[in-house]
Amino acid sequence: MDKRTVGILGGGQLGRMLVEAANRLNVNTVILDAPNSPAKQISNSTEHIDGSFTNPEDIKKLAAKCDVLTIEIEHVDVPTLKTLTSINPNLKIYPSPETIELIQDKYIQKEHLIKNGLKVATSKAIEVPSVESLSQVGNEYGYPFVLKSRKFAYDGRGNYIVKSESDLPDALATLKDRTLYVEKWAPFTKELAVMIVRSIDGRVFSYPVVETIHQNSICHLCYAPARIPDSVQLKAKLMAENAVKSFPSCGIFGVEMFYLENGELLINEIAPRPHNSGHYTIDACITSQFEAHIRAILDLPLPTNFTSLSTTNTNAIMLNVLGEAEKDGELKTCERALATPGSSVYLYGKESKPNRKVGHINVVSSSMVECERRLQYILGNSAELKN
């Protein structure tokens, strides 16, 4: 259907699911990442590049093989991306290198959002990390506050929740050699997320607002739609759309938010790529976040409502499958999910390691109560599942 080739920087699970969506449309994909990475495992192309999305030469090799370049991770070498169109003026890069640059440093991202009138938690850069400078922050922000790496953060690795002054030496040791900023604690009642897709001509389409539940700063569950009043859904959707419109780019974006005790919404962070909170879209929406991204960056049709839930009464829960202490122990959860109506299992072809995201499970039903009942069975909390 489309003879263009999409190059993907990064071949993890997000790349793998992008490849799956592209395959269904006969869109060729070429992956840059380590040999046998999850995305390469499901595509038999001989064109893949073994290397790193942070290595300029590897990125140039990838660019030489494709018409459109995209990313599944924002921690890529932006200066190299900026040089590519002078080598090949026909190459398209989505999201734009400027957008990746604004987002990959989380502190610059926050400054950008503030400049564009969006609310975020109060934060400041830490030029000289020391017990003295951070205890001043503790006096000003109160405890807990969060010490955060500006770059290369994921799954909370890069964050340290400072509960009291006595945590400071450990916080500094844990995040040593990283550029840091500090953030005020956001007293949230729920965490929300919205996937937004933006077309090349600037139209935005939003997926439903969802609710994410984290454990140890790693996404554990995602409820779609979020169990919040309609007025908050609407506010979150508009805020996410405005945030995405502030970046010069197109494709899929994930917008993470805090819904505070006082009813206020703050943006936590934005991902310029498919996002864990959008995995439910594969089974619960008309078009998945992965297909939406492929369509957007190739300028393929994006019809009205293509980001809606499949039906008006579709409900879904996504459960992340993390590696357990016992290698492959998590597969028991997956086996229970296979035996559960309305449930789909996605494994990423990654080696099982404790707390590593190795897969996810989508549970879909016309009622959230039923999704929850099925989830409890999958989690091993209820012995029997009557269909």
Which residues of the shown chain bind Mg ion in the complex (CB under 5 A)?
A: 256, 269
CA gap 255, 195 in Å, rounded: 6
Indicate the residue among 192 and 298 with the shorter CB distance to ligand ATP: 192
Residue with the shortest CB distance to ligand ATP: 186
Instruction: Measure the CA angle with vertex 339, ends 291 and 368; round to 5°.
Output: 65
Decide if 19 contacts 43 (C-beta within 8 A).
yes
Indicate the residue among 273 and 293 with the shorter CB distance to ligand ATP: 273
Q: Residue 110 CA to chain centroid, in angstroms?
A: 17
Containing 31, the helix (H) or strand (E) segment is: strand 28-33
Amino acid at 130: S
- Kindly tell me the burial class for residue 166, based on how many C-beta atoms sit within 10 Å of its own C-beta (0-12, 13-18, 19 or more): exposed
CB of 254: closest distance to ligand ATP in angstroms?
8
CB of 344: closest distance to Mg ion in angstroms?
24
CA gap 250, 272 in Å, rounded: 9
CB of 221: closest distance to ligand ATP in angstroms?
12
Indicate the residue among 51 and 156 with the shorter CB distance to ligand ATP: 156
CB of 163: closest distance to ligand ATP in angstroms?
12
Indicate the residue among 214 and 373 with the shorter CB distance to ligand ATP: 214
Indicate the residue among 107 and 377 with the shorter CB distance to ligand ATP: 107
CA gap 297, 67 in Å, rounded: 11
Strand spans (E) along 18-164: 28-33, 49-50, 68-71, 92-93, 123-126, 145-149, 159-162
Indicate the residue among 269 and 370 with the shorter CB distance to Mg ion: 269
Residues forming contacts to ligand ATP in the complex (CB under 6 A) are 121, 146, 153-156, 158-159, 183, 185-186, 191, 214, 217, 256, 268-269
Q: Residue 257 CA to chain centroid, in angstroms?
A: 12
Indicate the residue among 121 and 255 with the shorter CB distance to ligand ATP: 121
What CA–CA distances, in Å, run from 265 to 109, 196, 258, 371?
Answer: 17, 17, 6, 27
From the CB of residue 81, how many other CB atoms can be counted at a distance below 10 Å?
24
* Eight-class DSSP state of 316: E
CB of 107: closest distance to Mg ion in angstroms?
12
Decide if 315 contacts 343 (C-beta within 8 A).
no
CB of 99: closest distance to ligand ATP in angstroms?
16
Decide if 306 contacts 157 (C-beta within 8 A).
no
CB of 184: closest distance to ligand ATP in angstroms?
6
Q: Order of strands across the sheet with 145-149?
A: 123-126, 180-184, 145-149, 159-162
Indicate the residue among 152 and 306 with the shorter CB distance to ligand ATP: 152
Q: How far apart are the first and last CA of the chain?
A: 41
CB of 325: closest distance to ligand ATP in angstroms?
21
